Amino acid sequence: MRRWGAIVLAALALAPTAAAEEASRPVSGEELVTLRSGASYRGALVEKVPGDHVVIRLATGEIKRIEWSEMQSSVAVEAPAAPPPARPAAPEPPRGVRIVLEADGAHIALYRRAAEASNPFLPNPHIWAYECSDPCDVRVDPNAWYRVGGSDAMPSTEFRLPAGADPVTIKANVANVRAYWAGAVLFALGLIAVGTGATLLVLPKGNTDLTTPALVTGGAGVMTTVVGFVLMMVNARSSVAVNGKEPTPN
């Protein structure tokens, strides 16, 4: 008797736990009804009167009433388990190479070769797209061709970025546009003065001796030409150093 009493008490103690677990399971709102004949029906539960009948709505939309005496079992269909929370996507690695531009002039920018000009016989047969201004600090395409220039600066030679370097520091020694064109004007005036002096020397000698004016004009022309030529050469192109080294030009 004591043994049977212990079994009954254990069963009574486990019954609430089992009921609680059953109640905690998420249900889908559907009922699975199995008949004594072996057939089964599944549908949305409309009404369930234990000991009398069950009414369900089948997937076809039909409302079916099943008597309790015909059923072997009637259980709620558990809802499918919720999918695990999606892992946050890993951040994409930064694209391109970080560029830092250091220039000794104002309004200096980095330009990327974007396309070829329609006329290949132009002095500069490329179309250049603005990339960034000094000091830049942006990421750019590591495989493109670049040059440095600006409104007051002569463009540099074209160059590529060193492979595998990140970041890349570009130091630009700017050639001044105004100084270049001032040199061009002086060079042209000097040539004119040299030509004028030479002409005066070869003119027929009359009452006036033109030798001295010719020499003065020609000498001044030579000096002006030299100064203009030096200004043009010094300011012909801006120079750059990429990570401390002179890049290989295109």
pLDDT in tens, 181-233: 998 999 999 899 888 888 887 777 666 677 787 788 888 889 999 999 999 99
pLDDT in tens, 102-113: 988 778 999 999
Q: What is the pLDDT of residue 112?
A: 92
Q: What is the pLDDT of residue 229?
A: 92
Token pair 């396309």 in the structure block, residue? 115
Q: Residue 166: which residues within 8 A CB-CB, separation 6 or more?
A: 97, 98, 142
Predicted structure pTM score:
0.54
Q: What is the pLDDT of residue 28?
A: 56
Q: What is the pLDDT of residue 120?
A: 58
Q: Residue 109: which residues within 8 A CB-CB, separation 6 or more?
A: 101, 130, 131, 132, 133, 134, 148, 149, 150
Q: What is the pLDDT of residue 207?
A: 61
DSSP H/E element including 241: strand 239-242
Give the chain's largest Cα–Cα span. 160
Residues of the chain with pLDDT under 70: 1-28, 94, 116-125, 205-208, 249-250
What is the length of the chain?
Answer: 250
Distance CA 209, CA 201 (A): 9
Q: What is the pLDDT of residue 246?
A: 84
Phi, psi dihedral angles at 237 (to 5 degrees): -145, 145
Handedness of CA 186, 187, 188, 194 (dihedral sign): positive
